[in-house]
Structure 1
C-alpha cells in the first residue's frame, strides 16, 4: 500500500486512467444512484442536489468516480481532504451528495466498495465488493471493473435456491440494459463473459438442466466464488442494498455511448 502523502505531482491524472467516454457514462450512471453513505457529514442532500444543476452534479460525480477508480487500481488510500483538493476544489459544500452518489455507483456498477478506515481523518480504501477478485484477473485489472455484474448474477442464483435458470439471469440483466448478443460499453459481450470467461475463471458453472426437453440451461456458483466469498456474506450484503436499485439502474449500451460522443 503506497503512502497517502504521495506528492500530488507524482500521481497520474485520473482523466488519463479512464477515457472521457467512460467518465461520461459513469456520470450518467451515478445520477441514478441512491444517495446513501454512512461516512459523510450529515447535511440535507436533497437540498444540495436541488441547488445544483443535474449536468453539473453528474460531471462532479463522474470526476470523483474517475479519481476513486484510479486509487483502486493503484491500491492507494485517499482522504476526504484529498478528494476536496484534487476533485471538487471550489465545490466543497457538495461533497456529501457527490461522494454518496459516486460510492453507490461504484458499488452497484463496478463492484467496488469505498470503506472508511479512519473516521477521525476521513481516510478511505477501495476494495472489491464481497472479496471478489475477478477484475484483477482480467487484463491486469485495467478497464472498468466488472465485478458489479458478477455480484448481480451470483445474487440471482442465490435467490433462486442456488440454481439460476438462464432465463432468470438474462431477465435480471435485461432490466439493467445488458442483452445477449449486444456489446455493452462496460461489460462487453455478456454471453461470452458469463458462459466462458467467468466459467473458465471458476466463478460460475453453466450447465444443461437435467432431463430438460427442449434443452434449458442454468447457472450455479463456481468453486472460486465459494473460495472468495460466501452465501452468508451475500445475504448480509443484499439486506443492506436496496433491491430496487438494481432494477432501476439503467446501463446504456455501447451504441448509446457512441451516439452521445459522436463516434462511429
Structure 2
C-alpha cells in the first residue's frame, strides 16, 4: 500500500510528506513505520530502479529519483527524477530486466525472464495493477521503444524466444550502470560479480574509444 501511495504521489508530482505516509500505515503498525518504509524503499529500488530519498535531513519529506539516466520517453523532471505517470507501465521493469539479460550472457531465454518476473509478483496472462498486461509490456511496448529485442532462438523447434538489450538501452545506459544497480540491490559492490565486472569494464573502454573517435571526426 505504501509503495502504491508513493508511486501515485510521484506520478502526480505531489509532495511526499512523512505525515501522509504515516496515515497510509495501519495504526497498530505505526511503531514499525521505519522498517515498513525501509522495505518499501528496497522494493521500489528492485522493481522500478527508483531510490527513495529524504529531501533534506529530518525534513520529513521524500522524493523518488532514478538510478540511471534512462530518458523514459523524455519524461524527466528538473531535479533528474523520472516522471513515471503514463510512462510507468512502459519503463517500470526495464532496469531489472536489463540486469537479467546482462547476467544471462546478454541474451535471456524467455522462460528465465518470466521466472524472474514471477518472483516480483508479475505473471504471464495475469493483468498487473501497475504494469497492466506484462506480456504486451515486455514483448511489444519496450520492443517498439527499442529498449528490448524479442526474437526467436535460431533453429528452435518448437519455437523458443529470448530477450536482448535494444538499441536505445545501449545508447541510454551501460553494462556498468546496470551492474552498479544490481550490486546495490544485493548490498555489495560491482566487482563481486567478477566475470560481469570484467565485461562491463571492456564495455566502458569501448564506449570511451567510440567517444574519442567521434570527437576526432567532428568538424571544428
TM-score normalised to structure 1 length? 0.55
Asked whether the equivalents of residues 184 and 190 of structure 1 are also in contact (C-alpha less than 8 Å), the reply is yes
Q: Distance in 2 between matches of 1:208 and 1:230?
A: 25
Q: 1:101 — aligned with what?
A: 39
Which of 235, 243, 251 is matched with 2:179 structurally? 235
Asked whether the equivalents of residues 152 and 161 of structure 2 are also in contact (C-alpha less than 8 Å), the reply is yes
Which of 52, 56, 69 is matched with 1:131 structurally? 69
Q: Distance in 1 between matches of 2:22 and 2:105?
A: 45
Gap regions ≥5 residues in structure 1: 1-26, 28-61, 244-264
Question: 1:93-138 CA distances to partner (integer Å, 9 max, x unpaired)?
Answer: 544223212222322344432134533646532123433454859x
Change (3 A) 1:190 1:95: closer
Q: Does 1:83 align with 2:18?
A: yes
Q: Does 1:112 align with 2:50?
A: yes
Gap regions ≥5 residues in structure 2: 77-83, 188-220
Q: 1:246 — aligned with what?
A: none
Q: Does 1:174 align with 2:123?
A: no
Shift of 1:199: 0.3
Q: 1:201 — aligned with what?
A: 145
Which of 127, 138, 141 is matched with 2:85 structurally? 141
SS of 1:187 mapped into structure 2? coil
Shift of 1:148: 4.2
Asked whether the equivalents of residues 209 and 216 of structure 1 are also in contact (C-alpha less than 8 Å), the reply is yes
Q: 2:6 — aligned with what?
A: 68
Q: 2:107 — aligned with what?
A: 163
Q: What is the number of residues matched between the two proteins?
A: 175
Change (3 A) 1:179 1:71: closer
Greater RCO (CA < 8 Å, at least 6 residues apart): 1
Cα RMSD of the aligned pairs, angstroms, is 3.2
Q: Distance in 1 between matches of 2:170 and 2:52?
A: 23
Shift of 1:197: 0.6
Asked whether the equivalents of residues 52 and 65 of structure 2 are also in contact (C-alpha less than 8 Å), the reply is yes
Change (3 A) 1:199 1:134: same
Q: Distance in 2 between matches of 1:171 and 1:187?
A: 17
TM-score normalised to structure 2 length? 0.64
